[in-house]
Structure formats: structure tokens, C-alpha cells
Structure 1
Amino acid sequence: MNARDPLAPRSPDLPGAIAAFTDKMWDEEIVPALTDYIAIPAKSPMFDAEWQKNGFIDKVVRDAAAWVESKKVAGLKLEVVRIEGRTPVIFFEVPSTKPESTGTVLLYGHLDKQPEFNGWRNDLGPWTPKYEDGLLYGRGGADDGYAVYAAIAAILALDAQGVPRPRCVGLIEACEESGSFDLPVYVDALKDRLGEVSLVVCLDSGAGNYDQLWLTTSLRGMVSGTLKVEILSEGVHSGDSSGLVPSSFRILRQVLDRLEDSKTGQLLPESFHCAIPADRIEQAQATAKILGDEVWKRYPWACGADGGPTLPTTTDPLEGLLNRTWRPTLSVTGVDGFPAMKDAGNVLRPYTAFKLSLRLPPLIDGNEAAARLKTLLEDNAPYNAKVTFAADGRVGAVGATGWNAPSLSPWLETALNQASMDQFGAPCGYIGQGGTIPLMSLLQQCFPKAQMMVCGVLGPKSNAHGPNEFLHVPYGKRLTAAVAQVMAAAN
């Protein structure tokens, strides 16, 4: 296909033509592929120790690779790269159609999933896809199985219109939900084939609303792991022992008090905090004006004591944005050592274990934080109890470092706003995200001159990782078209 002359004026109908192409491709090709994908329980290795034996990860990788190859993208080369004992990655490359281009656009996504969780609507389930009113329900579609399909659709949309674009490469992993501990090995092995990356398009992030393109400006880091307190070798009669044998749960509470103020949720050690850059505060102020109370109203609040909804830590939109993006926060995401309620007799339990998720500000080193957290929790245990904290991950990578985006080049800022206006009718918004994408810190180190377009479909109520997760298909269509336009502007 002959590329359009890069010096020729842009057709006023070009954004519409790109949108029409991506709309059709989503309806006819992507939604059916994602429906099949959602039905496969391709849980990340952290949640499926038998992932190799079960074969679900391999299945979704093979399916996605076959789909990409079936699109017959001109010049496409694709390989499923496998390193012994590690999850596979899809690597593809498509040659440039822009003669003067010297850079490479790297498109990233992942195919592994979070576990099921409970609380799904009666007619929904994690592995039971359902398409309803523009929303595709099920685990993994939005986070972010759609990425590889949208990336290829964006490339094809440009090629179909004869719009020049740079060389494109895709890196689709299957370990992100476990902290991407396999990915650095692959990036190192593929570095020469990746080329001189000038733009990274990461499709694994969120959106403040569904009304405009949103650029992610920062990501928090994370340390997750299991805190376990052991006081007995076996359970004993609570009537006989309580008051003499300390409760493992009470000891665990004391240990956590070293880390968190339970009244406010504030993390106490200063080493887990960082100064918030002035430009990020300014962007948060602008975003707070756009979103207003939707910053906190977007969550599924329970019915409170007075019949009204339960309340957030703050109803101030600016403080809410900063709390979830630039301040450390502790969550307990799992427990062990507790019998089910129906099986709970009068027994003082021998141990209590909590799964901790500590979100870190973008500028805090994840590995250093993991080491500090372990020391803080384990040292000087009350009652000489056995207190252990085992961080998730592998040796040398037990914590995930966050990411603060580099300053935008003028060309990218212009392209983002133009694409958002063309595809959404509103300017691009800027928002930090509270989640973690370990790849971004890694790529920033590997390609320090690259620009970063981190975006995604995880908008209000999409509920990644929880029940009733959905992909907002109309937004996915417009996002794909917007990504195509930005790719065309890159060199």
C-alpha cells in the first residue's frame, strides 16, 4: 500500500475515516475475540502455581498471536518468545511506512488475569462473558486483554487510509498481574530487536471519564506480601486459654500499628512518602475541576448506618486524587488462619496471616521499600511471637517501583489534544493512577529519550480485579482511533 505524502494536507474526513475503520473492526473482529478470551481462566502465575500444566496462559497467548497473524498486516513479523520456566511473550514488528521516520513505536499490553473474586452479579461471572449495552463483562477484557487487538487495529486503520506511520513493535506479556517479574529478562533478550524506541504506547491504564482521552501521568509502586503471626503450634480452647495466651490477631494489629494510623489510614514511616512535584499538583487541580465529586462517587459505596452511603476518606476532589496517586496506602486483600464462619468454634487460633498490598508513591524505590517494610514488621515482636513478612515476587525484584512520566514533547502534547478533540470532542485530560505497571519504570530506564503515552479503558465503575469488571466498548473504539492518530504524528 502506498503511504500518503507526509507533506500533503490532512483530509478533514481523516479522523472520521479512522474512527469508522476502528468501529467496524471492534464490532466484527475485536469483541468476538475478547469474548472468547474472557472465557479462559488465564490467571497470572501468582494466582495459579500450575499455570504451565493448566495451559490457560499458553492458550490466550496462542489465540492472540493467531488473531494478529490472520489480519495480514503488511510486513508483519510475529514470534511467541519463550524462555524456559517463564511465561511467554508475544513480540511483533511492522515496518515503517513513513520514509523520514527513524524511531519506533512500542505497543504494550498483557494477557494474564487477576483471580475470580466474589460478589459478581447473578447473571455474570469472571469467565462468563456477556455483552450488554456496550459493556463487555468478564475478567481481563479491560485489564487489559483488549490491548493487543486495539494495537493492531490502530496500525491497520492508518494503513487502510494510506497514512504514514513509524515502525511499530508489540510487546505483550503474561506476567503483569504478578508484578512482571519475567518481563525484564525478555526486554533484555529483545532489546536489539526493539530498536530505538521513540514512543511507548501502554494500553494498561485508566480514564477519569468516558468523555475524553486521558493520559496517565504517574503510577504508584507496590509491595505486596504475606504478614504472618504465629503464637501456638495448634489451636486451643478459647475458654481455657484466652487471657493467658495472646491473640495472634491482636499481635498482628499491634504490628500493623507501626505502619499505619488506623484512624486516618496515613502511613507513618516518612520513608514511604515523597514530595509531590508541583506540576503534578497543578494537573490534579485541573482534573479535580473536570471530575468534581465523581472522583469519589464512582465507587460502589455500601449503605451506611444512617441509610445514606458510606463515606470516603475525603470528599475534596483534589485531595482524593492525590491520595490515590501520590500518597502511600495500605490495603489488606486476603486472610488466612481463619475458619469459615460456619466452622468457627470456641478455639483460639494458632496464627493469623494477612495479605498486604502497600501502594507506594511514584518516586519511592519498590525494592528498598520492601526491605524496610520487612524490618519494620518483623523486629521486636510482641510476646516473642513468630512474625514473618514474605514479599511477593522473586529475588532481586520483591517490590515494584512506580513511575512519573517525563515532560511531554510539544509534538506529543499537540497530537494528544488533536486526537482527543477529533475522536471525543473534548481536550485530553491528565490523571495519575493508583495502580502499578512495572514495565513503565523499566522502559523509562531502557529508553530515557522515549515519550510515553500511557492510557486505557479502565474508567468509572469498570472495576478491574473486582466483581462485574467490564470493558466500555464505545470508549475502546474511540481510544483506538485516538492512538492511531497519535502514532501517525510520531517520528
Structure 2
Amino acid sequence: MTSVDTTRVLDHDKLVTFVERKWNDEILHALTDYIAIPAKSPAFDPDWAKRGYLERVVTDAAQWAERQPVKGLKLEIVRLPGRTPVIFFETPATRSGSTDTILLYGHLDKQPEFDGWRADLGPWTPKFENGKLYGRGGADDGYAIYASLAALGALDEQGVERPRCVGLIETCEESGSYDLLPYVDALRDRLGQVSLVVCLDSGAGNYDQMWLTTSLRGLVSGDLQVEVLEEGVHSGVFGGIAPSSFRVMRQLFERLEDAKNGNLLPGVFHCEIPDSRVREADAAAAILGDTVWKGLPWACGADGKPVLPTTTDPREALLNSTWRPSLSVTGASGLPALADAGNVLRPRTAFKLSLRLPPVVDAAQAVQQLKELLELDPPYNAKVTFKPDAGAATGWSAPDLAPWLASSLDAASRRHFGADCAYMGLGGTIPLMNVLQAGFPAAQFMVCGVLGPKSNAHGPNEFLHVPYAKKLTAAVADVIASAR
């Protein structure tokens, strides 16, 4: 795939006008309705099929899509037995002789509610305020199908030639995309020869320019349980005789992590960081400076000043969150609420672990290594079990950027944002990217998104930065138009 000069064929003023109108008249309304639907990913709603929320958001998006002015658009909601549904759409090339295919990807499933929302906000209570649309899933990643088809519609309205385009919108991404691979296999012949992947499920270092994601971390998660008793007993009578399940848990953590700095100890969870990625981190750090860490919602610390980060070096902070492993405890059981905590030595403690892996560490091997590390030779012969979640995902490192795409990205970013495109890794996980790179080794990747400062995907007060989303939609149209 090569590029064409869009300045000769694309009226950019008309492009911006089309995108503005489409967002203001249609997309904002559609996303407001979407946010109000608690379409949680199957990992967080085992009864998803019975509740019908995923089916509803898929149907709503499909009905909107079918009304769009995209030439030759064919759309299907594909349903495999026992799997979450996907939307597949395709539109033929309007450029004579074009044999390449552009794949546009997004998802409609959501993270759970979480707590801490502002009093006037909520996960399923959409609110538009100061250019931001608040609510769960608007930015991660419900807007993607709407922005993708708006970009194609903007080109087709002007008669701008483009390659064939297909879309794959899933509803299992937040659960690790374990339902998606069967769909990719089932749709492989219809996908065609993918030369460019456009994924709008990623982040942005700021809202001043377009950001291309060059790597994604992998993810292994699961439930770690320590059991020492069949039932709770009096902590005064038996404390000092029976070991604390929490103390055993602490000892297991010492196998994994240096408690002083959070560094993961086993070498198997690390990899060498390529020089090119270090240079990208240097460049991104020069742009972002201390905002890399100062933008977090730090609590007030012991001395009245904010809690400190693990490092105040922007470059190291970026590498820590993109090319080094990190461990988080995201949930717990076996611990009563404080109001219900009697003087009882609890029989068990369980934690939900989330282990982020460097982009090139194999997730399947990491699962086995993590399980062996935690379960081998347990303290006090305690019953220790680690149950991995389905959908362990290997990360992704982008192939070298083709000159045509680098040029197109810079041109689109300058045109719509007033600055060159910037590059950095993202600490999150998008399982499909590694799958697509393996299946289409010659493909280029445009992985970007709207998850900029304080947008807070997965947490409280998530918002979609609408002005940025509009500019990104126009930039996507620009890049697609430039692809020969």
C-alpha cells in the first residue's frame, strides 16, 4: 500500500464541516443513548445473554450504521453459538484497481461501574458538559464504529476514491476478546487482504495532536486464593496458632514483587526494550514533561502534599507503564466490610490479580509460570490456588512504520490539530492487534484513540473529549483517503 496526495482530491473544509455536522446531529445523540445502557462485558455479567444489553447496543449501532451515506455498505450482526455478537461491515473500493483492504476495529462492551463518580454523574447517566460526554464506554470504545463510518461517509460524500474497507466491532474486548478469535476465523475469507488496520481503542498523551500507539502490553489475570481453615475461629484464642491467610498471601507476593518499588522480580516477566521504543519514550517525555505523572488524581499525603509516584522521571514513567511488567490487585474476597469485621481469624483470603506484561512476553507461558510460582511449596502447607481468567492476551509491538503512513499521519495531524503526530506505547491491552499482526504480517497499523488526560477509562467520571474525537475522525478520513 502506498499513498496519494489528498490535497489534490479532498476538500478539507468540507470534510471538517461534514464531521462536525455528523457528530452534532447524530453521533452525540447515539452515544448518549449508548452510555445509558449497562452493556457490561461478559466477564462482569455472566447473564449477558439473558439481560440483552449487549444485543441492544449492537442493534442500535447497526441500525445507525445502515443509514449512513457509505457507498455499497453491507452490514451484518454475526452471532456464533454461545458467543457475544459482533458487527461486520464491508464497503467496496471506490478507487479503480485497488486490491488492498483497510480494517476498522472497535468494541461496544463496557467495564463495570466502579465507585467514586461525581455526585451529578454516573456510569449509566450520560451528561454533556464543557465539550466532554461523561459516562461509561463512550470513550472506551463506543464511539469507534460511529467515527469510523463518519470518516468513510465524509469521503464518499465528496467522491474521494479509497480502498475497500471492512469493520469488525466486538463485544468481548473488556473480557480479553476470548470470543473474537472464532469470529476472525469464521470471517477470514471476507476480511480479505488487510493492508492497514485502523483501531480507535487507544490513548492520547494530550489533546493537542494525534498520537499513534506503537505498542500495547499483554495481560494475565486471575483469582489467587489462600485457605488455612475450614471456618473462621476466635482471633484471640487461636491467633498465634493458626497462620493468617493474609500473611501467607503477603509471602506469596514477595515471590512476585519488590514491595519497596513495585518491580516484578521474576525475569520471565521482563524483556529487552528495543532502542526505537526508548527513543519514542524520550520524544514523548519531551512533549509531555511532568504531566505524565502529575495529571493523576493523587490523594493528599502524610505531609499534606500529594502522594508521590514511583518515579518523577517522565521517560522512566512512560517505560514503566508501557514496556515493563506491573502487578495490581483489582478485587478481593474473604474480607468482610469494616462494619462487619469481628474478632475472627478468617479462613481464607482471595485476590483478583492483574499482571500487565511487556509487549513481546508470551501470555500463555506467563500464565503457567505465574501459576507455578504462586502454588509451589506454599507456606504452612496452606491451600493455595491460582485460577487464571480466560483470555490471557499477549501484547503487541507495531511493525516499522511505512514511509507513506508516517507522512500521512503527520500531514493529517498538522491539518486537524496543528502539530505533528506523536508516538508512544500504551500500557493497556487490545488482544486483536497481536492476532491481526500474525495473520496479516504485511499490514500497517494506525492504532490511536481518545483516552487522553483525565478521561479515566475503567474508572469513575470517564469522559469522551468530543472536540478531540471530531478532529480524530477527520484525521482518520484523511489517512484513508491517502492510502492507495
Shared topology, TM-score over 0.5? yes
- Closer/same/farther in 2, CA of residues 254 and 9 from structure 1, 3 Å limit: closer
Does structure 2 conserve the Cα–Cα contact (< 8 Å) formed by 1:327 and 1:361? yes
Other-structure match for 1:216 = 213
1:24 maps to amino acid:
R
Aligned counterpart for 2:388 among listed residues 381, 386, 391: 391
1:114 aligned counterpart, secondary structure? coil
1:119 aligned counterpart, secondary structure? coil
Other-structure match for 2:12 = 15
Does structure 2 conserve the Cα–Cα contact (< 8 Å) formed by 1:220 and 1:401? yes
Other-structure match for 2:300 = 303
Other-structure match for 1:77 = 74
Q: Matches of residues 445-464 of structure 1 in structure 2 within 5 Å?
A: 445-464=438-457
Distance 1:108 1:194 in 2: 12
Identity among equivalent positions (%) equals 68
Shift of 1:161: 1.8
Counterpart check, 1:140 vs 2:137: yes
Shift of 1:100: 2.9
Shift of 1:70: 1.6
Shift of 1:375: 0.3
Counterpart check, 1:406 vs 2:403: no
Other-structure match for 1:436 = 429
Does structure 2 conserve the Cα–Cα contact (< 8 Å) formed by 1:68 and 1:149? yes
Counterpart check, 1:347 vs 2:344: yes
Counterpart check, 1:232 vs 2:229: yes
Distance 1:117 1:388 in 2: 26
Other-structure match for 1:176 = 173
Shift of 1:489: 1.1
- Closer/same/farther in 2, CA of residues 67 and 253 from structure 1, 3 Å limit: same
Other-structure match for 1:252 = 249
Shift of 1:11: 4.7
Shift of 1:14: 2.1
Q: Matches of residues 84-483 of structure 1 in structure 2 within 5 Å?
A: 84-393=81-390, 398-483=391-476
Shift of 1:225: 0.5
Shift of 1:308: 1.1
Other-structure match for 1:3 = none
Does structure 2 conserve the Cα–Cα contact (< 8 Å) formed by 1:15 and 1:423? no
TM normalised by structure 1 equals 0.97
Does structure 1 conserve the Cα–Cα contact (< 8 Å) formed by 2:4 and 2:482? no
1:424 maps to amino acid:
F
CA deviations 1:80-113 (Å, max 9, x no partner) are 0000000000000011111132101100000000
Other-structure match for 2:43 = 46
Does structure 1 conserve the Cα–Cα contact (< 8 Å) formed by 2:111 and 2:174? yes
1:411 aligned counterpart, secondary structure? helix
2:473 maps to amino acid:
T
1:200 aligned counterpart, secondary structure? strand
CA deviations 1:121-153 (Å, max 9, x no partner) are 000000000000000000000000000000000
2:258 maps to amino acid:
D
After TM superposition, the structure 1 stretch with the greater mean CA deviation from structure 2, 95-104 or 45-54, is: 95-104
Distance 2:151 2:235 in 1: 63
- Closer/same/farther in 2, CA of residues 163 and 72 from structure 1, 3 Å limit: closer
Which ranges of 4 or more aligned residues in structure 1 deviate by more than 3 Å? 6-9
CA deviations 1:233-262 (Å, max 9, x no partner) are 111111111111100000001001100001
Shift of 1:71: 1.6
TM normalised by structure 2 equals 0.98
Other-structure match for 2:57 = 60
Distance 2:163 2:224 in 1: 48
2:304 maps to amino acid:
G
Distance 2:14 2:258 in 1: 54
Distance 2:470 2:69 in 1: 21
Q: Matches of residues 29-40 of structure 1 in structure 2 within 5 Å?
A: 29-40=26-37
Distance 1:306 1:255 in 2: 32
Shift of 1:28: 0.8
- Closer/same/farther in 2, CA of residues 412 and 137 from structure 1, 3 Å limit: same
What's the C-alpha RMSD, in Å, of the aligned pairs? 1.2
Shift of 1:12: 9.2
In the alignment, structure 1 segments of 5+ residues that lack a partner are 1-5
- Give the number of equivalent residue pairs: 482
CA deviations 1:53-89 (Å, max 9, x no partner) are 0100011011100110122422110000000000000
Distance 2:406 2:339 in 1: 57
Other-structure match for 1:489 = 482
